[in-house]
Amino acid sequence: MKKVLFVASECVPFIKTGGLADVVGSLPKCFNKEEFDVRVIIPKYQCMREDFKNQLQYVTHFYMELNWRQQYVGVLHLERDGIHYYFIDNEYYFSGPKPYGNIHEDIEKFAFFSRAALSALPLIGFQPDIVHCHDWQTGLVPVYLKDKFHEGPFFANMKSIMTIHNLKFQGIWDVKSVKDITGLPAYYFTPDKLEAYGDANYLKGGIVYADAVTTVSQTYAEEIKMPFYGEHLDGLMRARSNCLYGIVNGIDYDEYNPETDPFIAQHYNARTFRKEKIKNKRALQQELGLEQNDGRFLIGIVSRLTDQKGFDLIAYMMDEMCQQDLQFVILGTGEEKYENMFRHFAWKYPGKVSANIFYSEGLSHKIYAACDAFLMPSLFEPCGLSQLMSLRYGTIPIVRETGGLKDTVWPYNEYEGTGTGFSFANYNAHEMFNIVKYAMYVYYQKKREWNKLIDRAMAADFSWNTSAKKYAELYYRL
C-alpha cells in the first residue's frame, strides 16, 4: 500500500480561493483505495465555515521550534468521503477574514505550516512514502525534508513532489528575514538553491529540492521553460526538465453534471440537449434582463477579471463585438478597470450585455448550461477549469492556444468534421474577434455542424480519474 500526503494551503470544501482548492479536494478521492492511502493536511483557518470547524476532532498538540521561537501546533482531524483530512491549528497564524493576507505575514505563516505539517506526522502515526506539495505556500516542505528532518529514520526515505499550479506566484521575500523565520542555515541561500535575484524564493526551493516537479498541463510544462512564460525561473525549469511532468487537471463530474445540477433550470444530457438546453438560455435571459431570443448567439465569461485572462483584448474589441448579432453574460470580480469596463458596456448595450460583478456558484452553473459559447482568450493559462466545465455542459469554448487551453480544446476543422471548440494562436484582439465571428458563422449557418461540435464536446472526458491514473504512475516511478 503506497501512502501519499497532500500538503496544501487550501482544499474544497473547507477553504477555497481558486483552482488549487478544487485539485486538492477532488484528486485524492480518485485513487484506488486498495493501492493508495492518500491523506490531506491543510491549515485550520479561522475563516472556515463554522459547521466544518465544529466537526473537527482534536488529535494532539505540541510545541515546535521555528528558529528561535517556540510555537504551538494543534492537530485536528476529520474523515470525509473516505479521506482523512488533518488541520494544523495556530490562532496567531491562521486567524483573519481570509486565508492569505500580506505577503510578509504569509511568508512566516507558511514556513510555520510547512514545518508543522512534517513535525506532526510521527504523532499522528502516518508515514507517507510521498509528500505531494502544492504551490509556493508548501515550497519549504521539500527543503525541510532534505534538511533537519532527513536525520531520523522516520523521514529518511520520504520522496517529495512539487506541483506548480501557477508559476506567477512564488513566495518571494528578503533573504535576511527568511533566514530568521525558517531557521535554515546560510548554506541554502545561494543562487543554485533558495536565492533568486537577491531574494529568497519559496517556490524555487521546492522546485530545486523536490524529487519530481509537475505542473497542470503538458503545454504549460513546455511553456515555462521559455522566458515569456517562465517568470524568471525558466532556466531552472530547463535544468529540471528531466523530472518535470505536465498532468492536466480534471473537474468533478458529479458536481458539474447537466443531468443532475441543482442550480440549472432544465436538466439535459448528450442525447437530449437539442431540445432541452435552450430552456436554460431562456431562463437566464429572463433572469438577467437580456433580450428574450432563442436564436441569439449567447457568449459566457466566468473568470477572475485580471490581465492574465485576456480582458485587454476584450476591452479593445467589445464595441465591435456588440455590433454583431450576439449577447454577452459576464460573471466575476477582479481589477477595477475591468469591472468598470463591463459595467460600462452593460449600461451602453442594455439587453445585450449582462455584467455580474460578484461571485456566485449558482449563477456560474447557469451560465455554463445556458450559453452557446464560452470565451477564454488568456495570455497564459496553466490549466484552466472553466473550459472543462463548459465542454461538460455542451457550451463551445473559444480560447487562445496556450497552456491547458491548448491541451483540452481541439480546434474545429470544418473539412474533417473534428474538434470541440474554436481557438486562435496569437495574443491579438483582431484574431480573437475573427474567431468569434467564425464561431457565429458556424452557429447561424451550419446548425447541424454546431450540434455535432456539442456532441463531441460533451463526449470529451476530463474527469479526475484520467489525471489520477497519471499521478499514480508518477508515484510508482518515485
Task: Check if the beta carbon of residue 200 is closer than 8 Å to that of residue 172.
Answer: yes
CB 168 within 8 A of CB 308: yes
pLDDT at 148: 83
Distance between CA atoms of residues 140 and 165, nearest Å: 16
CA proximity to 367, closest of 342, 340, 330, 326? 330
- Tell me the average confidence (pLDDT) per consecutive run of 10 residues in the chain, 478 residues long: 97 90 94 96 96 97 92 97 97 94 94 97 97 98 92 92 96 96 95 97 98 97 97 97 96 94 97 97 98 97 95 97 97 96 98 95 96 98 96 98 98 97 98 98 98 98 94 96
Quote the pTM value.
0.94
Report the phi/psi class of residue 406: left, alpha or beta, with left for phi > 0 and alpha for psi in -120 to 50. alpha
- The string of pLDDT tens digits covering residues 391-410 is 999 999 999 999 999 999 99
Q: Say which DSSP state 75 is in.
A: E
Q: What is the DSSP string of 267-298?
A: ---TTTHHHHHHHHHHHHHHHHT----TTSEE
Question: What is the DSSP track for 304-361?
Answer: -BSGGGTHHHHHHHHHHHHTSSEEEEEE--B-HHHHHHHHHHHHHSTTTEEEE-S--H
The pLDDT, as a whole number, for residue 151 is 82
Label the pairing between strands 396-400 and 172-174.
unpaired
Which secondary structure element, helix H or strand E, spans residue 136, and what is its range? Answer: none
CA atoms of 108 and 200, how far apart (whole Å): 12
Give the C-alpha separation, 439 to 436, whole Å: 5
Predicted local distance difference test score (pLDDT) of residue 205: 98
Predicted local confidence at residue 152, as pLDDT: 81
Q: What local confidence, expressed as pLDDT, does residue 68 receive? A: 85
Q: Which domains occur in the chain, in start order?
A: 2-250+464-477 (3.40.50.2000), 273-459 (3.40.50.2000)
Q: What is the pLDDT of residues 158-209, one digit of tens each?
A: 999 999 999 999 999 999 999 999 999 999 999 999 999 999 999 999 999 9
82 contacts 127 by C-beta, under 8 angstroms: no
Q: Decide: helix, strand or coil at residue 96.
A: coil
Write out pLDDT tens, residues 292-347.
999 999 999 999 999 999 999 999 999 999 999 999 999 999 999 999 999 999 99
Q: What residue type is assigned to position 107 of the chain?
A: I
The neighbouring-strand residues paired with 201 are 172
